[in-house]
Structure 1
Amino acid sequence: MASGIAHLLCPSAFESVNRMAFTDRIRAHVLINGSIEAGLGLALLNSRTRRAAVAATVVYLTYFNASLLYRL
């Protein structure tokens, strides 16, 4: 959750990483990814949503890594 909030508070710190995975609208990708990460972090804290949050985290990490590998 802290990483997601950091994306929103200081997006420039995450632009270089996102630039490796995405070609355009880098700032938008940073803010979207930060929101997703913060939401996943919150969902992981709640035992009622944890199982779905774990599955969503796996999907999110797969998507981000696939985007990165596609660009390499």
Structure 2
Amino acid sequence: MRKKVADAGLRSAGVLIAASGVAHFVVPSVFVFISRWLFPKDTKTMVQINGAAETAIGVAIVNRRTRVWGILGLLGYAAYLGDRVVRDVIRRIGVSRR
């Protein structure tokens, strides 16, 4: 029973992540608006790359055979975006690197 619930939860999460990725292509203006401060150079291209990554990660999580790779991809993607946020905050508050 727990296994079925966990599987359903992971499938649902994968579908939501993939849908978010597809949304990057359907309504890119929303994601350009959100992403412009993280990706000030070539924001539209970065929105497309992030949309493709989220779509692939979501699809991988939905499928049991590729789920581990999808979760690893999600962890890497989250680390990448987290790094971008931290770098932007550091840039905004003017912390110098020595």
How many residues are treated as equivalent by the alignment?
72
Greater RCO, CA 8 A, separation 6+: 1
> In 1, distance between residues paired with 2:74 and 2:45?
20
Structure 1 residue runs of 4+, over 4 Å off? none
Paired position in structure 2 for 1:32: 49
Q: What is the TM-score when the length of structure 1 is the normalising length?
A: 0.93
| Residue 17 of structure 1: how far off its partner (Å) | 2.1
Note the residue ranges of structure 2 that are not aligned, 5 or more in a row.
1-17, 90-98
Note the residue ranges of structure 1 that are not aligned, 5 or more in a row.
none
| Residue 40 of structure 1: how far off its partner (Å) | 0.5
Q: Give the aligned CA root-mean-square deviation in angstroms.
A: 0.9
Q: Percent identity?
A: 32
Paired position in structure 2 for 1:22: 39
Q: What is the TM-score when the length of structure 2 is the normalising length?
A: 0.70
> In 2, distance between residues paired with 1:58 and 1:64?
10
Larger radius of gyration: 2
| Residue 16 of structure 1: how far off its partner (Å) | 2.2
1:43 aligns with 2:60: yes
Paired position in structure 2 for 1:12: 29
